[in-house]
């Protein structure tokens, strides 16, 4: 699902976000990405979602070579990759329903299909009864679940999550992770950046560790 082949990301100013990273994540895997702050976790996710472009190396996602994706094709790539952020990135002047519907509206889906799919996604994250609420009236955990519903509503084969439990207490964090496991069970590939090592260790999934932009450990190699 995801191939990185000697990928480097050098930011303007000379700083490296990633350095010669090679990795392969198979379809249906659920993988955690850890490392110290500034290790390059977010950079790796941003490259995968084409929010940024690599300076060197090849990236292939879902059969698509990202360096060959032109500016006009970027939106179509993003529609196949659900993205979840620590700060949720919700629209506060739109209802929960409208927030979750956004990816479907953007891809031009019909009104009736949107309603059906949004409710299905909200149902999965347990927020079906809050569809008319505004995000500001929800708790942090609930807002994060709205973000998750938005990421999966268009049923992308790949979901990326950047510190999805960063601000949540341990119990809510575990809930969110179990939600991800439920998606994984139906075949969604997940790549989750997190430095909650305690939580990750209880979950028995593959863990990739970055350090100063380099891949320094991978539980798949050890196995």
Ligand X SMILES: Nc1ncnc2c1ncn2[C@@H]1O[C@H](COP(=O)(O)OP(=O)(O)OP(=O)(O)O)[C@@H](O)[C@H]1O
Q: Which of 5, 17, 100, 21 is nearest to 60 (CA)?
A: 5
User: Phi then psi for 199, rounded to 5 degrees?
Assistant: -65, -45
The residue from 5, 64, 74, 155 that contacts another protein (CB under 8 A) is 74
Site string for ligand X, 31-70 (x = CB under 6 A): ----x-xxxxxxx---------------------------
Site string for another protein, 93-132 (x = CB under 8 A): ---------xx-xxxxxxx---------------------
Residues at the interface with Mg ion (CB under 5 A): 42
Q: How far apart are CA 160 and CA 122, in angstroms?
A: 18
Q: Which of 212, 155, 209, 149 is nearest to 179 (CA)?
A: 149
Is 165 a binder of ligand X (CB under 6 A)?
A: no
Instruction: Assess contact for 200 and 41: CB atoms under 8 A.
Output: no
Kindly identify the residues of this chain, within the stretch 179-208, that bind ligand X according to CB under 6 A. none
The residue from 22, 26, 65, 75 that contacts another protein (CB under 8 A) is 75
* Cα-trace Rg, the chain: 17
Say how many residues touch another protein, by CB under 8 A: 27
CB under 5 to 8 A by kind: which of another protein, Mg ion, ligand X, none does 70 bind?
A: none
- The string over 14-53, giving b where at least 16 C-beta atoms fall within 10 Å of a residue's C-beta and e elsewhere, is eebbbbebebebeeebbbbbbbeeebbbbbbbbbbbbebe
CB under 5 to 8 A by kind: which of another protein, ligand X, Mg ion, none does 76 bind?
A: another protein
CB within 8 Å of 221: residues ≥ 6 apart: none
Angle (CA) 194 122 62, round 5°: 55
Q: For residue 196, give Cα distances in angstroms to 32, 37, 59, 203, 223.
A: 10, 12, 27, 11, 22
Is 186 a binder of another protein (CB under 8 A)?
A: no
Kindly identify the residues of this chain, within the stretch 150-169, that bind another protein according to CB under 8 A. 150
Instruction: Please state the closest distance from residue 39 (CB atom) to ligand X, in A.
Output: 4
- Give 59 or 200: the residue with its C-beta nearer to another protein: 59
Is 70 a binder of another protein (CB under 8 A)?
A: no
Instruction: Please state the closest distance from residue 153 (CB atom) to another protein, in A.
Output: 9
Of all helices (H) and strands (E), which one includes residue 57? strand 56-61
Say how many residues touch ligand X, by CB under 6 A: 12
Binding site for another protein (CB under 8 A): 46, 49-52, 71-72, 74-79, 83, 89-91, 102-103, 105-111, 150
């Amino acid at each position: 699902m995801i191939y990185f082949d000697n990928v480097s990301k050098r930011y303007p100013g000379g700083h490296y976000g990633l350095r010669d990273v090679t990795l392969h994540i198979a379809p249906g895997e659920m993988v955690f990405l850890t490392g110290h702050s500034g290790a390059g976790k977010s950079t790796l996710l941003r490259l995968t979602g084409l929010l940024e472009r690599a300076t060197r190396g090849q990236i292939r996602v879902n059969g698509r070579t990202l360096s060959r994706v032109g500016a006009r094709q970027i939106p179509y790539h993003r529609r196949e990759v659900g993205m979840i952020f620590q700060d949720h990135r919700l629209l506060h002047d739109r209802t929960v329903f409208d927030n979750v519907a956004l990816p479907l509206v953007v891809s031009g889906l019909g009104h009736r299909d949107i309603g059906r799919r949004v409710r299905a996604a909200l149902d999965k994250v347990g927020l079906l009864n809050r569809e008319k609420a505004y995000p500001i009236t929800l708790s942090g955990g609930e807002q994060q679940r709205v973000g998750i519903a938005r990421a999966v509503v268009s049923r992308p084969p790949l979901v990326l999550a950047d510190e999805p439990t960063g601000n949540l207490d341990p119990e809510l964090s575990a809930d969110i992770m179990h939600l991800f496991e439920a998606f994984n069970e139906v075949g969604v590939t997940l790549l989750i950046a997190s430095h909650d090592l305690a939580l990750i260790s209880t979950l028995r999934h593959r863990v990739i560790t970055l350090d100063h932009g380099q891949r320094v450990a991978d539980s798949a190699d050890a196995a």
